[in-house]
Every structure is written in structure tokens, then in C-alpha cells.
Amino acid sequence: MAEEKDQVGKILYTQSAITKRAKEICAQIDKDYEGEEVILLGSLKGSVMWLVDIMKYTTIDTKIDFITASSYGSSTTSSGVVKISYEPQTNMYNKNILIVEDIVDTGNTLKYLISKLNERGPKSIKVCTMLDKKARRTTDIKPDYIGFDVEDFFIIGYGLDYDQRFRDLPYIAYLEEDDVESI
């Protein structure tokens, strides 16, 4: 038997809690898009585990693609500059696009992403985020599907990283200062 990973940070949501919530959201997505085709557009890299859950538990006709957008804002300004470094190849004209995100923080990344994707003439654009950190929002972005609301913590695991580490943890946790000192 393989050994389990060492626990890092304070656990907020276990794998079973995440699976349960993903199934609830997918039932809603199935209902909302009944009879329609949906392109699940995973925002790399953080959305990978959540994207797998969404594609696994929805029963509607889905296709997947990915986009990479990173926000380079200084910590003192709320208007971060966003850069797209990987463009999806899928033709989005007249298609339903469901952006799958790891976490919405200020909302800068999503706001930019949605405006760029709108140039491709999609039928619809909605957002399904695993986590919503509402306290930090500086834009008018409101995700359509939200896994869990989280407080203003630094979150790791289930795709989310701290300096590219801990994306592989099968749970959602937060880091406190004493955790950061010991890793």
C-alpha cells in the first residue's frame, strides 16, 4: 500500500466533502443546461482537480479545453494586469462556455478572461468556481456556481498552490504563519 501524504495546513474540506458538493453542483449544471452542449474551460493550473470532478459528475454533453491567465498586480493596487499565456483552440462561436476556476479572489483574472472570451461570440459564458473568497473582491464578478465560500485565508490543496507546491493534496486547507515557517 502506498503511504498517505503528510498533512499540510489546517483542513477546511476533505475529499469526501468536496465530492459531495461537486455532485450537488453538477446536478444543478445538468438541470440548467439540459439538452445543451457545454465547453468546460479549465483555468490552469489550479482548476485541474475541480475540473475533473465537474466533468465526471455532470451527465450533459461536455467537451473540455484549457486557458492560462495570470494576474500580475502589485499588492497595493486592485487592478492587476492580466496576461493570457495559453489560448484554447476550441471554436467558441455560439457555444456554451463554463469557465472552471479554482478560486475567485479580487475577480480581476476572471473579468479580463470573460471580456476576451466574449470576443469569440459564444452563446453563453458562466463561471463555476471551487472556492469564492468574497471578502477580497474588487470587481463586480459573481460566479454562477460556487463550491464553497472561504474567508480571507491563504488556501492550498486540491489544485491550489503555495509557490507551486501542494497542488496534489486531496483536500482543501489553509496556511497560517506557523505553517509557512515549518514548510
58 binds, among ligand IMP, Mg ion, none (CB under 5 to 8 A by kind): none
Q: Has 105 been annotated as catalytic?
A: yes
- Residue 145 amino acid letter: Y
Q: Which of 22, 103, 125, 130 binds ligand IMP (CB under 6 A)?
A: 103
- Report how far residue 112's alpha carbon sits from residue 123's, in angstroms, rounded to the nearest whole number: 18
Binding of ligand IMP by 96 (CB under 6 A): no
**Is the CB of residue 15 less than 8 Å from the CB of residue 40?**
no
Sheet holding 124-132, edge to edge: 81-86, 61-72, 37-44, 96-104, 124-132, 145-149
122 binds, among Mg ion, ligand IMP, none (CB under 5 to 8 A by kind): none
Q: Which of 42, 49, 108, 172 binds ligand IMP (CB under 6 A)?
A: 108
Site string for Mg ion, 14-53 (x = CB under 5 A): --------------------------------x-------
Minimum distance of Mg ion from residue 176's CB (angstroms): 22
Q: Which of 26, 102, 128, 158 binds ligand IMP (CB under 6 A)?
A: 102
Q: How many residues does the chain have?
A: 183
Helix axes 15-32, 48-57, angle to 10 degrees: 50
- Report how far residue 31's alpha carbon sits from residue 106's, in angstroms, rounded to the nearest whole number: 29
- Report how far residue 128's alpha carbon sits from residue 99's, in angstroms, rounded to the nearest whole number: 6
Exactly one of 102, 105, 132, 178 is catalytic; name it. Answer: 105
Phi, psi of 32 (to 5 degrees): -65, -30
User: Site residues (CB under 6 A) for ligand IMP?
Assistant: 46, 71, 80, 101-109, 133, 154-155, 160
Binding site for Mg ion (CB under 5 A): 46
